[in-house]
């Protein structure tokens, strides 16, 4: 039997498109490792919030750069929950990094070039052997520009705001729909205009607009794409 090559799959796109859910489903189906790059930036933001280095969307860049060596991020399986938990310096922070205060400040932290360099190094180290699915905003353009399969996800802002709101409610976290929608629009603006690794579609990425798709329909779409790409290699 021919051994199937394990590749790197990147899933980039706008916030609250369901990138993480989609990437986890792909990893589960293929037996790959899922790496949540967004959780890594959220963990750095949580560290900075606790140190008083960012507030109300304004970051103290110089001080944040100075504390980057103190930050360690890793993941561990949480099989009973169906996903991997994020650890910040050994502490499980999966719930804390989903808080709205983190959401409101993560873009300010993620624009710091030195922070992105640190996390890109960690992400590349995690994926150098292949067999991974990683989602984010610059995975196919910066972290793994030579990835064998790149997907760029998008959906209307209204659909994304509703999804994010329902996600927060389902996790028992404070949620206000109008605040969520404002946050998404602001993150789109910041992510698309920042100087360091702005959000953009890689030239060889395949676009998936999932505004009117169910998770099952997305996986049907992916299976066809994956089979075609593997047959080409």
- For strand 54-55 and strand 73-78, is the pairing parallel, antiparallel, or unpaired? unpaired
Cα atoms found within 13 Å of the Cα of residue 74, Cβ hemisphere only: 6
pLDDT at 183 over 60: yes
CATH superfamily of 8-232: P-loop containing nucleotide triphosphate hydrolases (3.40.50.300)
Mean pLDDT value of segment 57-83: 85
Residue-level pLDDT at 214:
93
SS3 88: strand
- For strand 132-136 and strand 8-13, is the pairing parallel, antiparallel, or unpaired? parallel
Cβ density class 51-68: b for 16+ within 10 Å, e for less: eebbeeeebbbeebeeeb
pLDDT at 200 over 80: yes
pLDDT at 82 over 70: no
Residue-level pLDDT at 151:
98
Residue 38, both tokens: 């967004």
The per-residue pLDDT for range 152-175, each reduced to its tens digit, is: 999 999 999 998 898 888 878 788
Annotated domain spans of the chain: 8-232
Residue-level pLDDT at 81:
54
**109 torsion bin: left (phi>0), alpha (psi -120 to 50), beta (else):** alpha
The pTM for the full model equals 0.75
Name the least confident of 63-67, 78-82, 99-103: 78-82
Mean pLDDT value of segment 33-48: 92
């Amino acid at each position: 039997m021919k051994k199937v090559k394990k590749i790197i799959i990147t899933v980039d796109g706008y916030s609250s498109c369901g990138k993480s859910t989609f990437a986890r489903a792909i990893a589960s189906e293929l037996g790959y490792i899922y790496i949540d790059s967004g959780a890594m930036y959220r963990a750095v933001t949580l560290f900075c919030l606790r140190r008083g280095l960012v507030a109300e969307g304004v970051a103290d860049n110089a001080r944040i750069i100075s504390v980057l060596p103190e930050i360690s991020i890793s993941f561990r399986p949480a099989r009973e929950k169906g996903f991997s938990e994020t650890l910040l310096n050994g502490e499980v922070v999966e719930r804390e990094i989903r808080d709205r205060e983190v959401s409101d400040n993560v873009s300010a932290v993620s624009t710091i070039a030195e922070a992105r360099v640190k996390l890109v190094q960690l992400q590349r180290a995690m994926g150098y052997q292949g067999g991974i699915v990683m989602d984010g905003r610059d995975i196919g353009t910066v972290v793994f520009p030579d990835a064998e399969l790149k997907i760029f996800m998008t959906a209307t802002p209204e659909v994304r705001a509703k999804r994010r709101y329902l996600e927060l409610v389902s996790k028992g976290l404070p949620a206000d729909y109008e605040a969520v929608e404002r946050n998404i629009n602001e993150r789109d603006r910041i992510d698309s205009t920042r100087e360091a690794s702005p959000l953009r579609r890689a030239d060889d990425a395949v676009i998936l607009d999932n505004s009117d798709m169910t998770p099952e329909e997305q996986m049907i779409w992916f299976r066809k794409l994956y089979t075609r790409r593997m047959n080409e290699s």
